Structure 1
Amino acid sequence: MTTRDLVFASLFAAIIVALGLVPPITLGFIPVPITAQSLGVMLAGVVLGARRGTIAVLIVVLLVAIGFPVLSGGRGGLAVFAGPTAGFFIGWIFGAFTTGYLSERLVTASQSGLAQGVGFFVAAFIGGIGVIYLFGITYLAFVGGIGFSKAFLGSLAFIPGDILKTVIAALAGRAVMAGYPLLPQRA
Structure 2
Amino acid sequence: MNTRDLVLIALFAAIVVVLGLIPPITLGFIPVPITAQSMGVMLAGCIIGAKRGALAFLLFVLLVAIGLPVLSGGRGGLAVFAGPSGGFILGWAVAAFVTGLIAERFVHQGNSEARQFVGFFLASVIGGIVVLYAIGVPWLSAVTGTPLTAAATGALVFIPGDLLKAAIATLAARAVYAGYPLLPARA
Could you tell me the TM-score, scaled by structure 1's length?
0.98
Q: Distance in 2 between matches of 1:142 and 1:70?
A: 25
**Identical residues among aligned pairs (%):** 64
Aligned residues: 187
Q: Which moved more, 1:28-37 or 1:145-154?
A: 145-154
AA matched with 1:172: A
1:132 Cα deviation from its structure 2 partner: 0.5
Tell me which residue corresponds to 1:146.
Answer: 146
Aligned residue type for 1:109 = Q
Structure 1 stretches of 4+ with a deviation exceeding 6 A read: none
CA distance, structure 2, for counterparts of residue 84 and residue 176 of structure 1: 34
CA drift of 1:186 comes to 2.5
> Separation in 1 of the partners of 2:144 and 2:46?
31
Number of the residue aligned with 2:184: 184
Please say if residues 47 and 186 of structure 1, whose CA atoms lie closer than 8 Å, have aligned partners that are also in contact.
Answer: no
Structure 2 partner of 1:77: 77
Q: For residue 149 of structure 1, report the CA deviation from its aligned partner.
A: 1.4
Distance 1:186 1:34 in 2: 31
| Amino acid aligned to 2:107 | V
Give the distance between the partners of 2:116 and 2:4, measured in 1 at CA.
24
C-alpha distance in 2 between matches for 1:74 and 1:118: 35
For 1:105 and 1:171, the matched residues in 2 are separated by 18
Distance 1:150 1:25 in 2: 20
Deviation at 1:143, TM superposition (A): 2.5
Alpha-carbon deviations, 1:126-168, whole Å to 9, x = none? Answer: 0000011011101111222111111111101100000000011
The 8 Å contact of residues 12 and 56 in structure 1, kept in 2 or not, is answered as: yes
Aligned twin of 1:164: 164
Matches within 5 A, 1:30-49: 30-49=30-49
AA in 2 matched with 1:116: Q
The structure where strand makes up a greater share of residues is 2
Unaligned runs of 5+ in 1: none
- Give the alignment's Cα RMSD to 1 decimal: 0.7
Query: Who is 1:57 aligned against?
Result: 57
